[in-house]
Each structure stands twice: as structure tokens, then as C-alpha cells.
Amino acid sequence: MIAEQGRRSVTDTVAVVIKPLSPLALHRRRRDAYRHLEREQQIALVSWTAFTGTFAAVRALTYAIRADVGPFRNISLGGEHIHHYMWGIALLGASGGAALSIPPSHKSTTTLATAYGAGAALIVDEFALLLDLQDVYWARQGRVSIDVGVGVISVVGSYLAAIPFWHHLARPAREIA
């Protein structure tokens, strides 16, 4: 039998992964799994996570603005609405400029990956507006393809960028130590 030979079955491994962990244990496992990634994989994970989080947050924020919920309002300058893709362009430009001008370090590349992912999400969220040069954000043609396409891209991209992270996280706890 496999279990008798000291190997874990798939069921045993899944049971370890599904077993609830304390917040501290979960933080330690996440930190350990992150540290086992190559630096390029860490940067990809940070960037895609920033993209996914920013995309979700900006969608929630725009819904709140449209529904007049909370203190959120559109930003205007001289009577003109400032679309959030403008902030995305600024973030991409700033992160690109910084990447070219400062020496790479662990902290700087992580920060730049975060800014890059967030900036890209702000731009992609208004892709329909940029594609048609019409404000179709709330129109059917501007929403369905963007919601589905970018939602899938962000979730799948986050998973693909983090495959080594997820595999290491899923390993039984005693194999990590």
C-alpha cells in the first residue's frame, strides 16, 4: 500500500491543505511559499495580484459612485470628468520611469510591480472607452466583454503567475520544515 510505504495519498495531501489554519499559521505558510519562488515569479505574482485587486476595487468603486453610495464621487477638472485610465497611464509612466532610473532592489522591484499591475488594471478597465473613443463604460457593449474578459484574465493570470507558490503552499506542513 502507498500509505504503508510512507508516501502520502492525494486524499491525505488534500486533507492537509483543506484543514483550517490559524491566521498566524496561514501567514507563515504564505510567507514561506512566497520565499520559495524565484524573484521573477515573485514579481509576476505581485503584479498580477495588484492587477486583480485594483480591477476589483475600481469596479466596486465605480458601482458605488454610480449608485451614490458612500462618500465616493467622480473627479472632475475644469468641468471635465477625469477617467481612471488617466491615473493608470500615470502609474505606468511613473513605474516605467522609476524602473529605468533607480537601481533594482527587492523593495523597489516589488513596489514597481505593484504600481505596474495597478496601473494596467485602471487602463484595461476602461478599454472599451479607449477602443471606441466613446464613453461606453456603462453601456452594454462597454461592460459585458470587459467584465468577463478581464475578470477571467486576472484570475487565470494570478493563478498562472503563482503556480509554484500554490504548489509549495499545498505541500504538507512537515515537508516544508
The pLDDT assigned to 148 comes to 56
User: Which residue intervals of the chain are DSSP H helices?
Assistant: 10-18, 23-35, 39-66, 84-101, 106-125, 127-132, 140-161, 163-170, 173-176
The pLDDT assigned to 89 comes to 94
Question: How confident is the model over 8-23, as pLDDT tens digits?
Answer: 554 555 455 556 778 8
List of residues 6+ apart from 63 with CB closer than 8 A: 69
Which of 175, 168, 167 shows the shortest CA–CA distance to 6?
A: 175
| pTM of the complete model | 0.70
The pLDDT assigned to 1 comes to 43
The single-letter code of the amino acid at 30 is: R
Please identify which residue in the block is written with the cell numbers 472632475: 76
List of residues 6+ apart from 78 with CB closer than 8 A: none
pLDDT lower than 50: segments of the chain: 1-4, 10, 14
The pLDDT assigned to 98 comes to 94
The pLDDT assigned to 63 comes to 85
